Amino acid sequence: MSEPEITPAIIEKHGITQEEYGLIQSILGRDPNYTELGIFSVMWSEHCSYKNSKRELRKFPTEGPTVLVRAGEENAGVIDIGDGWGIAFKMESHNHPSAVEPFQGAATGVGGIIRDIFTMGARPVFSLNSLRFGPITEDPSKNGNAPRAAIKNNRRLFAGVVSGIAHYGNCIGIPTIGGEVYFDECYEGNPLVNVFNLGILRHEQIARGAARGIGNPVFYVGAETGRDGLAGAAFASRELTEESKLDRPAVQVGDPFKEKLLLEACLELLATDAVAGIQDMGAAGLTCSTCETASRGGTGVEIDLAKVPKRETGMTPYEIMLSESQERMLIIVKKGHEQTVCDIFEKWDLPYAEVGVVKDDGMMRVLDHGKVVAEIPARRLADEAPLYSREAVPKPTPPELNLAELPVVDCRAALLTLLAHPSIASKNWVYRQYDHMVRAGTMVLPGSDAAVFVVREAGKILAATSDCNALYCALDPRQGARIAIAEAARNLACAGATPLAVTDNLNFGNPHKPENFWQLRECVEGLAEGCRAFGVPVTGGNVSLYNESPAGAIDPTPTVGMVGLIEEERHVTTSHFKGAGDAIILAGIPGDELGGSHFLKIIHGRKTGPVPRMDFAREIALHDAVRALIKSRFVKSAHDCSEGGLAVAIAESCIGGKDCIGAEVALGGAGLRLDQALFNETQSRIVLSVSGTNAAAVLLLLEMRGIPARRIGTVGGEHLKITAAGETLTWPVADLHDAWYHAIARALA
């Protein structure tokens, strides 16, 4: 079959500009053929090269005394957790595929991030996810308009994505133990599916993705190559349109059972002395794995496509090189150890083939039955894509909140409405579909401030969370990103953990639009500032741009995944109240900042600033103080105050446990409106419960550390009673729980 003629239209269809095409001609010293054009198109896509974001990412702190593998060096970063043990973790997106085919898009996103972790030599032990969709319920601020067709589609996407995540994680036997789910109009038609995985390994088990050793054989292992996922990296690097449904072939099809076999086979092989390098065939498939391993090794790689296992006949070199079929790896084997590979992969009943060899010429050379079909300098292809600094123009500052113009609402009803909103409501409909108990390491069930997992072989207790308030980032990108870091660290502190490191998933619109690129730049600056303040390095992550539908760009969503360490099992702390008579203490100030709040968005339909202020020194002092109290065994529960303000945080503490329990609380708020006192989202606040006999000691210890704090109430009874701004409101705890716990199931019924 002859290849298509390369025309300006073909070049444009591949996402290559005329300037970039000229650079390709310069690199090759000739015109590329069709296969080579496809190879450049995927490797120079934003998804693979980060050509619009790499210069911004260099602002992140990536070094530190615990960093064993830095961000960008390999498939995932590795952090030392002591006693010769390390953790590899990373977050990536599968947004566009999930918009087109939610089940497979989400499922293969999980499979891909798991491969990134065991490629490092680590055994994956748990997953998280961060999901965002358009509304699945009517907007209460719009007088109950009838659901639109978009709401029905959002429900379909939401249910499909959750089902895909559950299917892959449950089948492969890796628990999904936490995460977050938000719903907003900006994600209609362009959901965000960000997935996280963490693995454990000994320092000496760290594997590298480099083609080293001239003459070493190159092995293809895992599933056969097909036409699914064809040019998926390029697909993920353009906006979604009404025609995107035609891109279903760009969505991969996953097989978690085969991935389980691949995982065990690769870890068994890595325990031998047979492997010189290993690389996941992720985005861009065979293309990325060959050129990236050659570039890292300073060598060349030659492969023959005739030897590649295939499940479809008649595949062209273009299709084989650009296929993103799942569950595949490229392994550089030490010469003389070929039989070891064969024995292990035959044992696990997996396809394998020796497809090439490491060369000394720095070229990625692709043969088809011995005939050269592509020949490109590996480093130029993998690491020297053109980099851009796009024009950045600030978005107009949205009008600020004028409290005098804000209608007074029934705050008793407002709390029930907030608790029932899918962004705040219990996510039990989601996590009940996940097997979060497999491997028997989950110490804190989903629903608390942070996930907690014990790695028994290492004797370590890890806490992890994913966080981002995109509403803040839409109003003030830098401040919103600063708060994302602070809230992630606050969630870990509430669990009793000290932060170790961060991974991120930067979700933005088309970078060619100056306002979108400004949002990206501001968010990166905010994240970098927060990481430096908390002393946590960035281990790697993902950039997902072009998140736009015909309705417009998503709100900037720089999702943060943060991992921490808990020293002793007795320090593990959860968010719900434990017993009648316990004292409720607010560590932090009552606050008054209603701008950017979920109350304004959900009750009044307003995305209005200014967003709450963030003082890192005050935030860090609060975390240190709460961890000290937890280590002293004073704290029974600790809950971050975030979306919905103090009223929501206190209600969640009443209804978040196995057994609901009431409370009587006095918030003060003299001089404030009732809604302002109840629902403001001022930062650096944690709701604690302690035994009544320890309340005075806790308050004294907080005072000694300079943390403003006071006792605001007592746990007990069957009602939540809150006095604030001179008014008293009462709710049966059963009503609060019913509104909060069943909201998502009712929306999907």
- Spatial distance between the Cα atoms of 193 and 175, rounded to a whole number of angstroms: 17
Residue 616 CA: distances (Å) to CA of 161, 469, 539, 597? 36, 17, 21, 20
Instruction: State residue 306 phi and psi, 5-degree precision.
Output: -65, -25
* Cis status of the peptide bond prior to 610, with omega within 30 of 0: yes
Tokens representing 259?
A: 């991935």
Beta-strand runs (E) in 308-441: 328-333, 352-359, 363-368, 371-377
- Spatial distance between the Cα atoms of 421 and 466, rounded to a whole number of angstroms: 20
Strand-pairing partners, residue 127, are 176, 197
How buried is residue 371: exposed, middle or buried, by Cβ count under 10 Å (0-12/13-18/19+)? exposed
**Has 623 been annotated as catalytic?**
no
- Residues 335, 337, 343, 346, CA torsion sign: negative
Q: DSSP string covering 631-681, please?
A: HTT-EEEEEE--TTHHHHHHHHHHHSSSS---EEEEEE-TTS-HHHHHH--
**Has 94 been annotated as catalytic?**
yes
Tokens representing 27?
A: 């690199």
* Amino acid, res. 291: C
Query: Which of 14, 94, 623, 639 is labelled catalytic?
Result: 94
Query: Which of 14, 47, 421, 623 is labelled catalytic?
Result: 47
Q: What is the DSSP letter of 694?
A: G
Beta strand 176-183 pairing with 123-133: parallel
| Cα Dmax for the chain | 84
| Angle 575-581-584 from CA coordinates, rounded to 5° | 45
CB half-sphere exposure, 348, CA atoms < 13 A: 24
- Spatial distance between the Cα atoms of 277 and 330, rounded to a whole number of angstroms: 8
Residues acting as catalytic residues: 47, 94
